[in-house]
Amino acid sequence: MKNNGFLPQKLDNKFSMCTHLVGGCVEANQLRALTDAAEKYVAGHVHITSRQGAEIPFVDMDDVENITEDMEDAGIFGGATGQKVRGVVACQGITVCNHGLINCPELAARIDEIYFGTYASKKFKIAITGCPASCMKPQENDFGIMGVVRPEWIENNCVACGLCEKICKADAISIDNGQLDIDSNSCIFCGECISSCKKSAINGAESGYAIFVGGKVGRFPRSCDKPIEFTDENRLFSILEKTLAYYRKYGQDGERFGDLLDRRGFAEYRDTVL
Ligand code: SF4
Ligand code: SF4
Ligand code: SF4
């Protein structure tokens, strides 16, 4: 039952059906199928989870097979539970959000296709957020991905209006005598200066990804580590692959990734994987 996404409830013979939705994306026909199934098999109730999933609770044991078939006809399959990689969560990113720097749902779909439901020592959560505003809280996931952009000043276009200096929440920009300086140590690569400049005097020289590892909440929360401030897509995929391989090799049964980092040391992980 668990392998197909059905979790036992408090009530005997009642199960909550967890569905696998990637990056918070669901088609209209799938929403219809969910509501149809909720009305057909339970009291018309669907629960939206904290990880962008949809659950149908109160499914009777006798209806499990039929509701599974109805959902699969609409392209909705059971979610992952237990010692597996969970469905990837994501914000809408660059195609919808003004602040977005990467296409989060598209990246989520590609990562999910490779890793969803594969073995891990315990649950392994991946979140993708489109910019440093961090709406998807990548810092609270086993593997968090954040879209970033490196700003570059175009001197010839700049009229030294000072707007970018005021906009930058990291105080990374200073203008002195018509010369603009971007402090790369303070910059959080959010791209707000790029979108705010009306003279196209700051470009996005390079887009990429920041990576967080080992974050979790739950009974014993752990702050994430941040092994990578800025990398490209090839390296992102490589690091994710190696991180999961590291977790599978060294993780003890039931050990979360952050706890593994604490046991073996973040530096050892970093040296092995990076
Ligand atoms: S993280 Fe950034 S891109 Fe994603 S929803 Fe929030 S503000 Fe928009
Ligand atoms: S907002 Fe644009 S034009 Fe104004 S100081 Fe910044 S870079 Fe120059
Ligand atoms: S990218 Fe963000 S943090 Fe960096 S200089 Fe521009 S506004 Fe400031």
**Domain that residue 165 falls in:** 150-207
Q: pLDDT digits over 202-246, tens only?
A: 999 999 999 999 999 999 999 999 999 999 999 999 999 999 999
pLDDT at residue 6 in the model: 93
In this structure, what token pair is assigned to residue 57?
A: 């609770």
The pairs formed by 259-264 with CB atoms below 8 angstroms and a separation of 24 or more are 259/222, 260/121, 260/214, 261/213, 261/214, 261/225, 262/222
Residues 111, 215 share a domain: yes
User: Can you give the pLDDT at residue 3?
Assistant: 83
Average confidence (pLDDT) over 115-136: 97
CB atoms within 10 A of CB 157: 13
For residue 73, give the 3-state DSSP assignment.
helix
Whether residue 130 is contained in a domain is answered as: yes
Give residue 53 CA to ligand 3 midpoint distance, Å. 33
Q: Is the shortest distance between the CB of 145 and ligand 3 below 6 Å?
A: no
120 and 214 housed in the same domain = yes
What's 62's domain CATH number? 3.30.70.3340
Phi, psi of 167, rounded to the nearest 5 degrees: -70, -35
Q: For residue range 8-27, what is the model confidence (pLDDT) as tens digits?
A: 999 989 999 999 999 999 99
Residues 217 and 143 occupy one common structural domain: yes
132 and 221 co-located in one domain = yes
Residue 196 CA, closest ligand 2 atom number? 1
Residue 172 lies in a domain: yes
Q: Is 182 in the pocket of ligand 3 (CB under 6 A)?
A: yes
Q: How far is CA 173 from CA 43, 74, 145, 201, 205, in A?
A: 56, 51, 25, 13, 16
Q: Quick one: 67 and 164 in the same domain?
A: no
Query: Does 166 lie in the same domain as 32?
Result: no
* Per-residue confidence (pLDDT) for residue 71, from 0 to 100: 95
* Mean of the per-residue pLDDT values of the chain: 96
pLDDT of residue 128: 98
**Whole-number pLDDT of residue 4:** 86
- Report how far ligand 1's centroid is from the alpha carbon of 133 (Å): 6
pLDDT tens figures, 171-205: 999 999 999 999 999 999 999 999 999 999 999 99
3 CA → ligand 2 middle, Å: 55
Q: Is residue 84 part of a domain?
A: no
Query: Within this chain, do residues 161 and 116 fall inside the same structural domain, yes or no?
Result: no
Q: How many domains does the chain have?
A: 3
81 — pLDDT class (breaks 50, 70, 90): confident
- pLDDT at position 131: 98
Whether the CB of 2 sits within 6 Å of ligand 1: no
Examine the domain organization and report whether 99 and 178 are in the same domain. no
187 in a structural domain: yes
If you measure from the C-alpha of residue 247 to the centroid of ligand 3, how many angstroms do you get, rounded to a whole number? 34
Please report the pLDDT score of residue 2 as a whole number. Answer: 84
DSSP state of 139: G
161-195 burial, b if ≥16 CB within 10 A, otherwise e?
eebbbeebebebbeeeeeebebeeeebbbbbbbbe
Closest CA to 127 of 92, 95, 88: 88
Q: What is the DSSP string of 26-69?
A: --HHHHHHHHHHHHHHSSS--EE-TTS-EEEEEEEGGGHHHHHH
Residue 159 Cβ inside 6 Å of ligand 2? The answer reads yes
Percent of the chain having pLDDT more than 90?
95
Interacting residues of 154 by C-beta distance below 8 A, sequence separation 6+: 200, 201, 202, 203
User: What average pLDDT does this structure show over 77-98?
Assistant: 94
Report whether residue 131 contacts ligand 3, using a CB cutoff of 6 Å: no
Whether 129 lines ligand 1, by a CB cut-off of 6 Å, is: yes
The pLDDT of residue 1: 85
219 and 142 in a single domain? The answer is: yes
In this structure, the residue with its CA closest to atom 3 of ligand 3 is 187
Task: State which amino acid sits at residue 208.
Answer: G
> Domain holding 249: CATH number?
3.30.413.10
Q: Is 197 in the pocket of ligand 3 (CB under 6 A)?
A: no
Asked if the structure places residue 217 within a domain, the reply is yes
Asked if residue 89 lies in contact with residue 126, where contact means CB atoms within 8 angstroms, the answer is yes
- β-strand pairing of 143-153 with 202-213: antiparallel
Question: Rounded to the nearest whole angstrom, what is the distance from the C-alpha of residue 200 to the centroid of ligand 3?
Answer: 15
Give me the CATH number covering residue 169: 3.30.70.20
Dist CA 236 CA 211 (whole Å): 8
Residue 180 sits in the same domain as residue 191: yes
Asked whether residue 80 is domain-assigned, the answer is: no
Question: Nearest CA to 214 among 274, 271, 263?
Answer: 263
Q: What is the pLDDT of residues 26-58, one digit of tens each?
A: 999 999 999 999 999 998 999 999 999 999 999
Please report whether residue 78 resides in a domain.
no
83 part of a folded domain: no
- Do 54 and 100 lie in one domain? The reply is no
Q: CA dist 263 to 24, 156, 160, 216, 218, Å?
A: 33, 52, 51, 15, 18
Helices and strands (DSSP H and E) totals, the chain: 8, 11
155 and 176 both lie in a single domain: yes
Ligand 1 close to Cβ of residue 137 (< 6 A):
no
Ligand 1 touching residue 146 (CB < 6 A):
no
